[in-house]
Structure formats: C-alpha cells, structure tokens
Structure 1
C-alpha cells in the first residue's frame, strides 16, 4: 500500500515536471535568435508598411518608438483601410452591415484609429500615409489584375477604385499598376534606409501581397535609390501567439511553422516603458479589440522579432533534390531546380495525393527592362479536371508544361519561355480540397543564374 502511494506521488511529480519542462522549452525554443536588430541612428529614414490598420502597432510598435527616440524619421504606410472585416464591425457597432457606405465608413474609422495610436509611439497624423486599396483583395490584384485584365472589385465595399478622399491617390483603379505607382513614389521621394514589411508566410493574404509588391518596387528602383534594409514582421497563423492576452514579461517567439526554417531571426528587446506605450497604442483600435479582445494585446511583450527567407539562387547545377526549409514539418515543402530551358518545381505534400486534393502553383516572373505589368502571372493547377494553366484570368496553351506525381510528391516542369525568360520569380503553392484551402506555402524569391 505504501509503495502504491509513493508511486502515485512520483507520477504526479514526474508529470508536473514534464508539463513545466514542455512549457519552458516551448517558450525558449527561439529564445536565442541568430542576432539582434541593428541599432537605429538619427540619420535613418524608417518606413513601416502595414497591410491593414493596427499591423504597424502590433508588429513594429516597439521599433517605431526606438527609432523616434534617437531622432530618426519614421513614416507609416497603410496599404488598405481594413474595411472588409465584417464580423469585427458587427461586434463593434452591434448591428448588421449591409450597405457599401457602412464598410467605407468603417474603413475611415480604422484609419483614424491608426492615427490616434501613433501618438503613443511618437508620431503624428502627417507621418501616416493611407493608400486605400481593397482590403482582402490585394493578393488577387497582384496575381490577376494587371494591364488589360481590368480592376479588381471589392465584394463588400463594392468598389473598383480607391474610394477615400484622403488617400494618396483617390480614384486610382484597383490594379497592380496603381499599387506599384504609389509605392514607387513613396520610396523614390522618401528614400528609406530601413523598411519594415509584412511577412511572405503570413496567413493573411494582404500581408503576403504587400511583401510581393515591395519586392517588385525594389527591383524597379534598382540603381535609383540606395538599397534599404528589409525587416519582415509576422502577425497571423493559427493558434498564435500563445498564451493569449497581455503578458508584458513574456517573449514573443516565432510560431512552430518556422521551427526548421532557414530564417535568421533578429530580435528587439523593449524597455518596460516601450511595452506599456505599445499596449496603450493597441487600446486605440476598439473596432478590432471588441471582436478579438485578447489577440492584439498578445503582441505587447518584451520583444519584437523580424526575419526573412534567403533568396533562392537557381543555378544551372542546382539539384531538385535540394529541399528548401521553408516551413516546418508537417507543412508542405517546395523545391526548385533548373534543367535546360525548364524550371522544375517539386511540391512535397504533408499527405498523399488523391483525386480530391487540388494543387496550385503560382509563379510571378520579373525581367529587368520589361514592365512587370506585361510579364506573365502564371498559375498552374492540377485537380480533378486535369492540368490547367492561366495567365492572370486567361487560360493559356500548355506549351510544354508537364507534371507527374508519386506518393506525396508532385513535380512540375515549366518552360522559361512561358515565364518570359525572367531574372527573378516570386513563387508559392497551395493545396485545397474542393474550394477549401488545406495548406498555403510561403512565397519565396527565386534568382535565376544567367
């Protein structure tokens, strides 16, 4: 009997220690990133690119304060006004939203929230630039709305052009050219030394889109401005950050999807006063806090982190067997290679391929000296209907595109001629069961050896 009681006590102690150790390891898995964010200096010109109002605060609120403190200039650019967050608005206003004007009115509310929040971080309304492009639509614009394809139409706000009089280019069509033009103008005039931008692996599609637009703008301005330092920040993935709520003494660590990634994370440790100011700034977004009261304040912690995937250099000798560590298992993985005049892309899925699973590969090529708007925007799909290739919204002839599959791997072969013989390619892939996305892989930058 005595031995039985001792065994029960031992088990309780063991499992208590195990649970504590598991939590400690989870909290410290990224406690020692590869480096610290470089110090700001008074000559810095910092540009913060935010997909929706509030991202600038939760992702970069500490960095903004640190830059202002040393006398650096800081500008914040809002890609969208965040007008399509239907459920948040219903909770905030406590009544249903039906009309176009309701959504546009809430977009202006969100812009004003950002302006007010910036005062906690040391900025004024003159430091905030609103572009007013379609919330939850900018990745669609990047992939499908260029040149002669026509503007994107926002579903809830029912707009095809920038509807806000106070935006940088009111009345500009919802097209890729419009977004590029605004961002190029900002970078050309401001000439930033450091740019903070949303992450290419973020679950929010506008976050991914802003990163892609920035990449194209920087290629377009190559040789015209000094190359700025780029620091992507991460906001959205399922079940993160943990624990939810205000925990100012806890570290903010990258989510598990990055546990095997190639990213060298940089961290910025915040002073207690900076954490408090960031928390107070977050409180100035009531339209979002009422809907998800514990999410935004989860980012008011003792640090911020930043990091990007390295550029994938596709040489003539690179083997397709070289796997890119983009996101951790069991996420799907992309691999790239070059064979003669073809690009080879292998997608290793987290599940075996079956008839219900559709696979989509996106390729956005860039060629020096050629307008990006006129370059192909290719999507290759494999599913129940076989193989389909689109350039923006238009179906195109297969022209040598091939694919094969085995087990949980699918391999595409795409002639570079279809891609316009590019210097760079922005690439991603996703899997879906019918219309439900199963896995959406991070966007990567491919650099092709000439």
Structure 2
C-alpha cells in the first residue's frame, strides 16, 4: 500500500493552527486567572505590571511641572519621577495648591515640604505656594482656579506635567486634576501624566510593602486611558523613603501613615491624558 503524504500547504496550515492553539492556551492561562483575581479583589494582579509600558522621563533641558494638592502628595505620588528628572538635569517646578492647614499645621507642613522636595532634588526657588484653603477646593471659584493654574503653566512653559487623577476620591485632588486637564486640554506641546493617591481599593494592601508593585484599581482602568509605570531603582526608592520621612506631622497619624507607606513600592504609576478628553 502506497503511503500518502499531505500537501505541504495543508501541513503548514495544520502547523499554523497548532501554534495558534498553543498561543491561545498560554494567554488563557495568564488572563483568565488574572481576570478572576481582578473581579474579586478589584485590583490588577502583580503580574499585570509587565503589561504596562514605561513612562517617558524628562531629560536635560526639559521642564516638568508637578501639581501637588497638599504637602506630601508630590513625594508619595511622583517622588521617584521627580528624582529621575532632576538626576537628568531637567528643570522641575512644584505647585503646592493648598496650605495643608486643615489641622492648623501650615508652618510645620511647609517646612516638611521644603525639606522633602530638597531631597528629591528640587530647588527652593522652584516651589510655588498658592495658599488655597486645605479641604475647600470644591467650593472655590472655578474661574479663579482656572486663572491661577493657567498663569503658572503659561509662565513656566513645561513640556511635562504631572497632576492628580480627576477620579481620585479626595475632593482637593479631583478638583486639581479636573482644572489642570481643562487648562491643558488643547496644548499639544505638553506630555501630561496623572497620578492616583486616594481610592477605596488602592493601593493594595494598605501596608508598607516595598517589595510589591503598584497597580491601578479596576474601577479606573478603561480602554481609552493607558497606564504606564516607572520602575524604581533601589537607590531611588531609598531616596524617596528619605523624603517621605520628612513628613512627621502626617506619619504620626495611623491611617495616614498606612496610606503614605503603602505607596512606597517598586514602581510609580501614571495614567496618560489624550487631547480629546
């Protein structure tokens, strides 16, 4: 009996189908458990960090403008990013939006702010204090906020801006983020990144876990917004922790200490802004 061989075209097709099946199986093994984990825990699993792209870091000659609602947000939210920018000799300016005086500690918190940002590499001359009342941005005149923010952006002319995520559940953060996005909406010269501090399920766990990755909560992950990562070196992480340690007034409050230290992770997290937002 003569042996029959399949045509080479069919062999290639079968081989290709087999490869596709293997790829589908491998992807299923990764994504299905991840989807189940995210559904129950409302946060992406640690393995999802490898799906995020790296953020662009300002280089020599670039200008980075950071909006910080309160003294400490700039350090816990984007401290590593600021460190990397200043190491590369980018010019960094920080706009401190409120006075941090909700508990009558304005002088103390301003002092802590200056010390922390100095450790991050930011010059004292590049710190701007808007002195707006802590916890009351929601009731502020939006036209006034628009002008204040726009004047700072127009004066500095940054090509990078980092600001609070508008979906942050803290009113001062969400208002700051919304106003910044409104002001820079049509500015194609700016690369804008938003950072998240407050969410009911973020970060997880709310404990000091510097060996873990920071990942976005499921409720702020959408198809039209891309999340990016900044992986921190050991030296950057130590420097960020040193800067955070300057905020004695906040770290002595148990629930604030838990939140602040839970943002000391192996990376920082940013969401991009698209011009049609």
- TM-score band by shorter chain is 0.7 to 0.9
Of the two structures, which has the highest relative contact order with CA contacts closer than 8 Å and spacing of 6 or more?
A: 2
Q: Residues 117 and 282 of structure 1 are in contact (CA less than 8 Å); yes or no, is this contact kept in structure 2?
A: yes
Match of 2:88 in 1: 70
2:79 alignment partner, SS class: helix
Relative to structure 1, the CA distance from residue 193 to residue 295 in structure 2 (aligned partners, 3 Å threshold; closer, same or farther) is: same
Which string of whole-angstrom CA distances, capped at 9 and with x for unpartnered residues, describes residues 202-245 of structure 1? 001111111222133335xx6xx762111000000114212233
Cα drift, residue 309 of structure 1 = 5.9
Q: Distance in 2 between matches of 1:178 and 1:309?
A: 23
Q: Distance in 1 between matches of 2:188 and 2:223?
A: 29
Match of 1:108 in 2: 107
Match of 1:189 in 2: 155
2:258 alignment partner, SS class: coil
Q: 5 Å matches for 1:228-243?
A: 228-243=190-205
Q: Residues 111 and 130 of structure 1 are in contact (CA less than 8 Å); yes or no, is this contact kept in structure 2?
A: no
Relative to structure 1, the CA distance from residue 259 to residue 228 in structure 2 (aligned partners, 3 Å threshold; closer, same or farther) is: closer
Q: 5 Å matches for 1:306-385?
A: 306-308=270-272, 310=274
TM-score, normalised via structure 2 length: 0.78
Q: Distance in 1 between matches of 2:121 and 2:273?
A: 31
Cα drift, residue 26 of structure 1 = 4.9
Relative to structure 1, the CA distance from residue 34 to residue 137 in structure 2 (aligned partners, 3 Å threshold; closer, same or farther) is: same
Cα drift, residue 303 of structure 1 = 0.5
Gaps of 5+ in 2: 1-32
Which string of whole-angstrom CA distances, capped at 9 and with x for unpartnered residues, describes residues 287-346 of structure 1? 11111322201111111111146566xxxxxxxxxxxxxxxxxxxxxxxxxxxxxxxxxx
More strand by share: 1
Match of 1:118 in 2: 117
Q: Distance in 1 between matches of 2:116 and 2:146?
A: 27
Task: Choose from 146, 154, 178 the match for 2:144.
Answer: 178
Cα drift, residue 60 of structure 1 = 0.5
Relative to structure 1, the CA distance from residue 114 to residue 267 in structure 2 (aligned partners, 3 Å threshold; closer, same or farther) is: same
- Aligned pair count reads 238
Q: Does residue 42 in structure 1 map to residue 60 in structure 2?
A: yes
Which string of whole-angstrom CA distances, capped at 9 and with x for unpartnered residues, describes residues 61-115 of structure 1? 000000001110000101102222x4xxxxxxxxxxxxxxxx2xx1222122111
Q: Does residue 218 in structure 1 map to residue 184 in structure 2?
A: yes
Q: Residues 164 and 176 of structure 2 are in contact (CA less than 8 Å); yes or no, is this contact kept in structure 1?
A: yes
Task: Choose from 216, 227, 245 the match for 2:189.
Answer: 227
Q: Distance in 2 between matches of 1:22 and 1:218?
A: 36
Task: Choose from 198, 204, 209 the match for 2:170.
Answer: 204
Q: Distance in 2 between matches of 1:228 and 1:26?
A: 29
Query: RMSD value over aligned CA atoms?
Result: 2.5
Q: Distance in 1 between matches of 2:53 and 2:201?
A: 26
